[in-house]
Amino acid sequence: MSAELDLAGRVVDLVRRLAGSAAQAEVLVDHTALALTRFANSGIHQNVADATTGVRLRVHVDGRTAGGSTTVVDEAGLTALVERTIAAAALTPADPGWPGLAPPAALSGDDAWDEATAQAGPDERALRVRAFVDAAAGLETAGYCRTVHWSGAFANSAGQAVAGRAAEAAMDGIARVPGADGVARLGSRRLADIDGAVLGGRAALKARAGADAVELPPGRYEVVLEPTAVADLLANFAFYGFNGKLHNERQSFAEIGAAQFDPAVTIVDDVTATAGFGVPFDGEGTPKRAVTFVGDGITTAVAHDRRSAAEAGAASTGHAWPGGSSFGPLAANLRLLPDESAPSAAVAGPVADGHTAALVSTMERGLLVSDFWYTRVLDPKTLVVTGLTRNGVWLVEDGEITRPVRNFRFTQSYPLALGPGAVLGIGGNAITPADSWDIFGFTGPSLRLASWNFTGGASG
């Protein structure tokens, strides 16, 4: 038994002792060790690490529900957590929508664990930074190298008791020339997959190819989006489109059974497969499993936790976000499947890889987009998003990259961009770009899309 599972079990027992055997309790224990080496102006300027164990408790007593958490995990801290959570439940109104506890169920899949990543120290991260900086060959660079590992456990008073562990490594950096940045980013379950020299070289190549960019008029352009940009589409689908709570409230575009996407589009969520990050159970102890949200262009499911599932008359899909009932369930490892038969071409210029190069070669006139920035939803129901391009845009004419283009602002419905007939090509290689804000596993290939609505140049 892991230390975390033992701790979770002790808290469940404590709830029973203090609130009686009829009390329902669920306990999530998470030990996270995160280390991040950050560089700017081609030198390491911030170098941080922390290791924290947190306990999250939710109780349902006499028809009332309350939650709480603590990082104070000695006997006194745990007792205080249990006492105040039980006391809080007694003072809240009845919770008629309580969905009950997750029943006992076994986990599927293996741990996403890599011992070398978990044990990596600051020197190993610094060496990758050194390689990135050196590969940029004199260009100014900035970014980070991160390693993180989780060891988690869940137990509830209905008998569910599971534990798991996972690791992630990531590198995200830019190289800069005056007026242009180039980016390379990659997340993986193994630090060994992170090659600072490869990433630094790619970022530098993009930066150099982005110099002396011209401003083009706004309007609708055909585009090839690289995986770094596609990840933003998937993130917004996860937060707003396939969120079962928003779907219940009719605030999502998703219509189960409707052909809302191009037939070439299939989107799944599966942390138990070879990609994706995190432990193999959700915040309510439900085992994670592969869920297809879009199959051959047809919307087939939305993500549910136990509460949104109960409201919808469905079953939890294993996407409860710890302490996130207000926001709703989140599929944090969405994966847009690549076209495994897609061709690859020689990598020339600033394209991310050979599959992207092949998509570019088929485009008569359009834009190659490296990255999106600061995207925000104007209306969750239509998922109209505004944001900017960043880290490299190029004009493509007759299949050739002809010139760098200054950044655009766009205002675009994401589901419509991938709607029936709108997807002109899907790359053959799905990439998981590192996410800077949280450990998400949004994974996708490059996409060639018929239209993207650029509403202004970055200069106004």
Of 125 and 165, nearer to another protein (C-beta) is 125
Handedness of CA 246, 308, 11, 78 (dihedral sign): positive
Residues β-bridged to residue 220: 453
Q: How far is it, in rounded angstroms, from Cα 136 to Cα 203?
A: 7
**Dihedral Cα 344, 234, 175, 122, nearest 10 deg:** -110
Give min distance, CB of 6 to another protein, in A: 18
- Residue 426 C-beta-side C-alpha neighbours within 13 Å: 22
Give min distance, CB of 451 to another protein, in A: 11
Of 32 and 344, nearer to another protein (C-beta) is 32
CA neighbor of 232 nearest in space, from 416, 73, 414, 449: 414
Give min distance, CB of 241 to another protein, in A: 14
Of 9 and 218, nearer to another protein (C-beta) is 218
Of 174 and 405, nearer to another protein (C-beta) is 174
Classified as helix, coil or strand, 125 is helix
Of 245 and 288, nearer to another protein (C-beta) is 245
Residue 297 tokens, joined: 């262009």
Give min distance, CB of 458 to another protein, in A: 5
Q: How far is it, in rounded angstroms, from Cα 425 to Cα 418?
A: 11
Beta strands in 217-308, from DSSP E residues, in sequence order: 219-225, 267-269, 291-295, 298-299
Q: What is the DSSP string of 345-367?
A: ----TT-SSHHHHHHHHT-SEEE
Give min distance, CB of 353 to another protein, in A: 21
Burial tier of 22 (Cβ tally within 10 Å: 0-12, 13-18, 19+): exposed
Of 1 and 51, nearer to another protein (C-beta) is 51
Q: How far is it, in rounded angstroms, from Cα 28 to Cα 102?
A: 13
How far apart, in Å, do the first and last CA atoms of the chain sit?
59
Task: Please name the residue that has the structure tokens 């506890």.
Answer: 101
Give min distance, CB of 219 to another protein, in A: 13
Give min distance, CB of 358 to another protein, in A: 29
Of 341 and 459, nearer to another protein (C-beta) is 459
Give min distance, CB of 18 to another protein, in A: 11
Of 59 and 265, nearer to another protein (C-beta) is 59
Task: Please name the residue that has the structure tokens 């834009």.
Answer: 367
Task: Please name the residue that has the structure tokens 């060891």.
Answer: 151
Give the list of residues 6+ apart from residue 103 with CB closer than 8 angstroms, or none.
158, 159, 160
Residue 278 tokens, joined: 């995190």
Give min distance, CB of 256 to another protein, in A: 17
Of 92 and 108, nearer to another protein (C-beta) is 92
Give min distance, CB of 391 to another protein, in A: 9
Of 49 and 314, nearer to another protein (C-beta) is 49
